[in-house]
Amino acid sequence: MELSCSVQQYAWGKVGLQSEVAVLKSSSDATIVVDENAPYAELWMGTHPNGPSILKSTKSSLEEWISSHPECLGKKTRERFGDQLPFLFKVLSVEKALSIQAHPNKAHAEILHKESPDVYKDPNHKPEIAIALTPFEALCGFRPMEEIKNFLKSIEELRQLIGEDVVLKLINGGESETEAALKACFTELMKCPDELVAVQSQAYLSQLSTMDGDQREKKLASLFERLHTQFPGDVGCFVIYFLNYVKLLPGEAVFLGPNIPHAYIYGDCIECMACSDNVVRAGLTPKFRDVKTLCEMLNYQCGGSVKFTDVQKLDQHTTLFSPPIEDFAVSKIELTKSCHYKLIPKETASICIVIKGQFVADTVTYKRGSVFFLEANKSLQMDVNDEGGLLMFQAFCNI
């Protein structure tokens, strides 16, 4: 069942046909006229009420169809999640940095929703995976402690924002005190007055302008300057000295569990998450900032693997990204020209999107940007006859 999917035009999205979201949407729908001056940030595939997908054949929503045919979800999905699709599938095209943010765990999400339903609009958690379609930049999780300490020692303006006493407790403290000291440093930075941030930002920019290439690279000067151009005087610009700066190649991924601080910086990606829109923000954003909640909830463990490595080949053409949760997993399907392939059946319902190329199944042609819903235990016999081959992603429950 082919779907028509919603586009979100957030200000941070890539503009016009520079956006993969705009290209995919217009490629699959001849009625779409792309505005070359407008941002196209996210393509939503699923049943979330803020951007529900519509069945092209009947014009009814996917959620309505699932409600009338709950058996399509598969027995395991219904037993675990009830008669609803538990994930939201997306394509993102990022031009400007997204906010410094984290997502609550399920219990915390329920509390936040109850206390502030106008801000946290559902009671669900929001673990997510991002798989790069193009070279992709992100901040993700806290850096190794020695890197954080070195930045604190060498950047006077950062110490001024946090306070010398708090910084020294982290630099000189014992291993047993590390997480508490890091929390104190990060919290003091994030709640620093805007006026002081603006002054220290200008002072630091002046310092960066006098440095040579090697010094600038060590201080992540280009990244700081880029973020400051996008969000002048924002405390989030200094967060790069606390969080890992990750560069993904196409096909590489990051997984973001509860309470992991992160921000996407630039690029296009496939994203899948639990069906929620709960975000706790504290920097690099004009939106509501909940600094206290964010700083209290974060996981302050440092280092560890940043890129997602739990990836396995299911066969010659299909690669599985399987995060440690039940809500979702994602498969990447790559087929060559003149290839005949049967899609691996799943015990749960799934949503697929064609990123590159096209194929024919049951006399229907699915081309770049085509999105379709597959019932549990159903498959497709795919016939590819495209010079560049085919790239497709499939999201489904991880049970």
CATH number at residue 108: 2.60.120.10
pLDDT in tens, 254-282: 999 999 999 999 999 999 999 887 889 99
Average pLDDT value over all residues in the chain: 94
Q: What is residue 10's predicted lDDT score, i.e. its pLDDT?
A: 95
Tokens for 194, please give them: 């805007």
Check whether residue 13 and residue 112 sit in a common domain: yes
Q: What is the mean pLDDT of residues 204-233?
A: 96
Q: CA 116 from chain center: how many Å? A: 24
Pairing state between β 128-132 and 253-256: antiparallel
- Say whether pLDDT at 42 is over 90: yes
Check whether residue 263 and residue 353 sit in a common domain: no
The Cα 363–Cα 25 span in angstroms is: 22
Number of domains observed in the structure of the chain? 3
Domain boundary among 240, 257, 272: 240
Q: Is residue 251 part of a domain?
A: yes
**Of the listed ranges 69-73, 332-336, 337-341, 376-380, the one predicted with least confidence:** 337-341
Check whether residue 112 and residue 52 sit in a common domain: yes
Number of C-beta neighbours around residue 56 at 10 A: 15
Pick the residue with more confidence: 37 or 117?
A: 37
Q: What is residue 385's predicted lDDT score, i.e. its pLDDT?
A: 80
Q: What is residue 315's predicted lDDT score, i.e. its pLDDT?
A: 93
Q: What is residue 339's predicted lDDT score, i.e. its pLDDT?
A: 87
Q: What is residue 386's predicted lDDT score, i.e. its pLDDT?
A: 76
Check whether residue 70 and residue 157 sit in a common domain: no
Q: Is residue 79 part of a domain?
A: yes
Check whether residue 21 and residue 99 sit in a common domain: yes
Check whether residue 11 and residue 133 sit in a common domain: yes
> Residue 152's pLDDT band (boundaries 50, 70, 90)?
very high
pTM of the model: 0.94
Check whether residue 155 and residue 177 sit in a common domain: yes
Q: Give the residue from 137, 112, 135 showing the smallest Cα distance to 123.
A: 112
Q: What is residue 6's predicted lDDT score, i.e. its pLDDT?
A: 95
Which range marks the domain in which residue 211 is found?
A: 144-240
Check whether residue 118 and residue 255 sit in a common domain: yes
- Say whether pLDDT at 7 is over 90: yes
Q: What is the mean pLDDT of residues 285-298?
A: 92
Check whether residue 7 and residue 115 sit in a common domain: yes
Check whether residue 14 and residue 115 sit in a common domain: yes
Check whether residue 233 and residue 273 sit in a common domain: no
Tokens for 380, please give them: 């497709």
From the list 143, 281, 289, 368, the catalytic residue is 281
Active-site residue, 78 included = no
Check whether residue 73 and residue 182 sit in a common domain: no
Q: Please provide residue 308's backbone torsions phi and psi, each rounded to the nearest 5 degrees.
A: -80, 125
Q: What is residue 155's predicted lDDT score, i.e. its pLDDT?
A: 97
The Cα 325–Cα 276 span in angstroms is: 15
Q: Is residue 153 part of a domain?
A: yes
Q: What is residue 39's predicted lDDT score, i.e. its pLDDT?
A: 97
Q: What is residue 146's predicted lDDT score, i.e. its pLDDT?
A: 94
> Residue 334's pLDDT band (boundaries 50, 70, 90)?
very high
- Say whether pLDDT at 174 is over 80: no
Q: Give the residue from 99, 122, 108, 149 showing the smallest Cα distance to 274.
A: 122
The DSSP secondary-structure symbol of 387 reads T
The Cα 333–Cα 316 span in angstroms is: 9
